Amino acid sequence: MTSPSPSPTAPLVTVVVPGFDVAEYAGEALDSLRAQSLSQWTAVLVDDASSDATGAIFDAAAAADARFEAVHHRERQGLGAARNTGLERVRTPFVAFLDADDLYTPQALDRLVATLAASGSDFALGAYVRLRPDATGGYAAGVVQPWVAAATDPARSGTTLEAHPEASGNIVAWSKVSRTDFWRRADLHFPVGKMYEDQIVAQQMYTRARTFDVIPDVIVHWRERADGSSITQHKDELPVLRDYLEALAAGIAVLDAAGQARAAAARIRLVLAMDVPPLVALAMNHPDDAYRRALGAFVRGLWDRADGDAPAEPVATALAAARLW
């Protein structure tokens, strides 16, 4: 599908690509941009004071292809700040995000931009799959998980959170393309100094948008690093857990403040079913009792608000254990 454009050459979408110490993966991420069926993109590559060759890879890309712009933080500021730095440089009608260790599928930008151009919505989101280490030393893409499909399948054009509350389960920045003026009009930016910054911003997007679109197409392959260095692979650390739980709660609070009761209920059901059980498994033998207490307090707060059918096993047992901590 070819997206409509105001000019044969003018860029339509800016992709903000933040990176910190991702030299092993950044080249492949940039290659996935170069391989897009939509060629009318530009990218802001933000090196967050990496100690490896990430910055050099970004510089080389910018030197070879004018569609890339490399920006360097002198000191590490975090993912949220890096994304905000990129946002400040966006001059195109649309904006997207791609973490420098993940991969776009070839028609990702084409599909999302074309969907928005046809609908007039504020943003569009698609599905994603995990990219996990395989037995050969490489990576293999998985399948779309049920909670991802619940947000993106079937396709919907010009929908709202009232009509599609399950969309609140898609909280990642990199599965979306937005109108740039929506970010300006809605005063959106990423929290700085906190991990899991997508949680709050995603719910702000859903609650502040006039309408949004969803498509079932896989947009991104989300990498689970073989070396375990991704922040999502460090939830056994108490500070990381606290940031994670705080972000989950803050996202739900955004839905509450907007009066989106059905979306908040859907989000609570999903968090209890999908986010909490792996944390309970980590907590069972964790050396720090504060880890269990933090998780227990969080789960009790959500459990008091849970509705619908009782959870099935093994989720029910995990939630029962957590409520006792």
pLDDT tens string, the chain, 325 residues long: the values are 444 444 457 999 999 999 999 999 999 999 999 999 999 999 999 999 999 999 999 999 999 999 999 999 999 999 999 999 999 999 999 999 999 999 999 999 999 999 999 999 999 999 999 999 888 889 999 999 999 999 999 999 999 999 999 999 999 999 999 999 999 999 999 999 888 889 999 999 999 999 999 999 999 999 987 775 665 557 899 999 999 999 999 999 999 999 999 999 999 999 999 999 999 999 999 999 999 999 999 999 999 999 877 888 999 999 999 999 9
Q: What is the residue type of 158?
A: G
Cβ distance 18 to 26 under 8 Å?
A: no
Look at residue 182 and give its three-state secondary structure. Answer: helix
pLDDT tens-digit profile of 15-69?
999 999 999 999 999 999 999 999 999 999 999 999 999 999 999 999 999 999 9
Place of tokens 């929506």: 182
At residue 135, the pLDDT reads: 86
**How many other CB atoms are found less than 10 A from the CB of residue 34?**
15
Going along the chain from its start, the domains and CATH numbers come out as 13-228 (3.90.550.10), 238-323 (no CATH)
